[in-house]
Structure 1
Amino acid sequence: MRGKKSEWLTHEYFRTYRIANAVDIITRDPFAYLRELEALTVDNGIYEFLPNWQKDSALHKFIRFIADDILMGDTDGPTRVPFGTDPLNPQWILPADAAMMNYGIIREPLFFIPDTPAPAPGNVDDPSELDDPHHVANACYDYLVDLQGTQAYEDLMSRIADEVFFVMFSNRRALANLHKFLAVYVREVDPQYIGEDENELGRLLERDGELKRVRPPGWARKAVFYRDRGRCTSCGVNLSGLIDTFDVANYDHMMPLSRGGLNDVTNLQLLCERCNNRKADRITIPSNRYRRWY
């Protein structure tokens, strides 16, 4: 659960765009990555996405999953980071430690990569391209597994998710692709098989695989209204002059609830009444037209 946060976000941009790019690529064709994404939805993992209007949105959750996978991949590869005042003989640390220092979560590395990596053929002049011996890779893996259970790592995932969310929230097509993927699993949710300790989840459903419609809260409507610049994302008509700027009739679920969509801020787009009625509960590709900043 994410606690109350300031309305301001300080960006450090530590691998933000690399993670955002990975999220975008995977959401374009998620079923090509089912093996990597399996842990996200197995054992009722989809249940975490069902509660209505979570500020820890579906995109936040997906970003953390992808970022965690990327950091785990760093335990066996050429992505180590130099540390120390001697550029010729640095100590080497994992990107996870470098990121936590970058965000001010820790002051010093918690782990130094042991031993001298064995050089890969043809790359002996570039320490950053060296392959790890098995015992080094194992030590890095064990460290990261232990780190994942700490508050420091949770804080790191929160910072990464907030930054990548900020970069990606405007990408309506990536958001729609994410919700199209999640809807496959939402459609499989049957209240009959929800455990007694999760009765609240069962009450969220209108019927098997379909969530009840719940009015978007003010913070969600405000975020989507300003993201879409107060204009219908389909036809471009200016909606900012309406008597009720935040009329819920103008907020469309990109992935309709009847098709497994979520009541989630990242599943909303701004539409005028005419375009919203025309779309109804069909699945359509969101507009990729955006108004220039200047």
Structure 2
Amino acid sequence: MRNPFAYLHQLEGLTVNDGIYDFLPHWQKESALHKFIRFIADEILMNDTDGPTRVPFGPDHLHPKWILPVDVAMLKYGIIDEPLFLIPDEPDPSETSASEDDPSHFRDPHYVVNACYHYLLDLRWTQVYEDLMSRITDEVFYVMFLNRRALANLNEFLASYVEEVRRDNFDTDEASLSDLFARDGELKRARPPMWARRAVFYRDRGRCTACGADLSGLIDTLSVGNYDHMMPLARGGLNDVTNLQLLCEDCNSKKSDRVVAPSNRYRRWY
């Protein structure tokens, strides 16, 4: 996330063709991190179309069937009871005629790759794939939401696209998105809902993430004034739960609308 284009070469696919518009509405429970995780998980599975990480399946260890990681994942989660797709064998180069059952089998040198690709392409429209994406997204979110540095890097990346959004570029049916902006490239400030404040308060253990001050004894422990946008709205930041951190009043005032790397100090469980 520090240098996304160096490692995730297709990450731009998350925002191109007006993809950034999906991130604009305020306080979506399907947060920016959820969208990012789902995008990456889908890319990883779709890139495996020729079975380089294929997995053996079946009782015969000498001559097993082979399945793709996506089917392994669905089996592990209990989403399916048996593989939906078995990777076909490579065509026998000694064969010169087409198979009666599958005329393309011996004519297409990319038969296996194409078979895996078309299976994955069709699978993405099914409920079992949606269930798999939901399970993966929930698990990874649970881990990554604890890491403020990673969240800040994600929001900084997205902010670079939000800053380029111009309100007069929206179509007529996108007028509601235009109303979200205070001005070009800057979203309006929207009060964080209670569920977002609670999530951030408990993630940060009720302490200012900058100075460590204990905020849990305040009369109003969920005061809006203690919730800081890590990536300021004035710099293209989102009204998103992943863009919030808990700060005391003094630290929040000092930070203002500057971009400051969040603390990477985390409290031990014991």
C-alpha separation in 2, matches of 1:117 and 1:186:
49
Shift of 1:34: 6.8
C-alpha separation in 1, matches of 2:249 and 2:62:
64
C-alpha separation in 2, matches of 1:74 and 1:234:
42
- The aligned residue for residue 73 of structure 2 is 99
- The aligned residue for residue 46 of structure 1 is 20
Report whether the alignment pairs 1:37 with 2:11.
Answer: yes
* Unmatched tracts of structure 1, length 5 or more: 1-26, 119-132
- The aligned residue for residue 139 of structure 2 is 163
Q: Rg larger in 1 or in 2? A: 2
C-alpha separation in 2, matches of 1:77 and 1:233:
45
Equivalent residue in structure 2 for 1:115, among 82, 86, 89: 89
- The aligned residue for residue 138 of structure 1 is 114
Give the SS at the match of 1:75: coil
C-alpha separation in 2, matches of 1:45 and 1:169:
22
C-alpha separation in 2, matches of 1:157 and 1:137:
23
Identity %: 73
Equivalent residue in structure 1 for 2:38, among 64, 86, 89: 64
* Unmatched tracts of structure 2, length 5 or more: 93-108
Equivalent residue in structure 1 for 2:244, among 263, 268, 271: 268
Give aligned pairs, total.
Answer: 254
- The aligned residue for residue 266 of structure 2 is 290
C-alpha separation in 1, matches of 2:67 and 2:91:
12
C-alpha separation in 2, matches of 1:269 and 1:232:
8
Q: Residues 27 and 192 of structure 2 are in contact (CA less than 8 Å); yes or no, is this contact kept in structure 1? A: yes
Task: Please give the per-residue CA displacement for 1:150-200, whole angstroms capped at 9, x wherever unaligned.
Answer: 222122111111100001101100000000000010011111011111111
How high is the TM-score relative to the length of structure 2? 0.90
Task: Please give the per-residue CA displacement for 1:102-139, whole angstroms capped at 9, x wherever unaligned.
Answer: 22222211110000599xxxxxxxxxxxxxx7321221
- The aligned residue for residue 8 of structure 1 is none
- The aligned residue for residue 184 of structure 1 is 160
Task: Please give the per-residue CA displacement for 1:45-72, whole angstroms capped at 9, x wherever unaligned.
Answer: 0000001111100000001111111111
Higher helix share: 1
Equivalent residue in structure 2 for 1:219, among 166, 184, 195: 195
Shift of 1:261: 0.3
* Most deviating of 42-51 and 152-161: 152-161
Change (3 A) 1:70 1:106: same
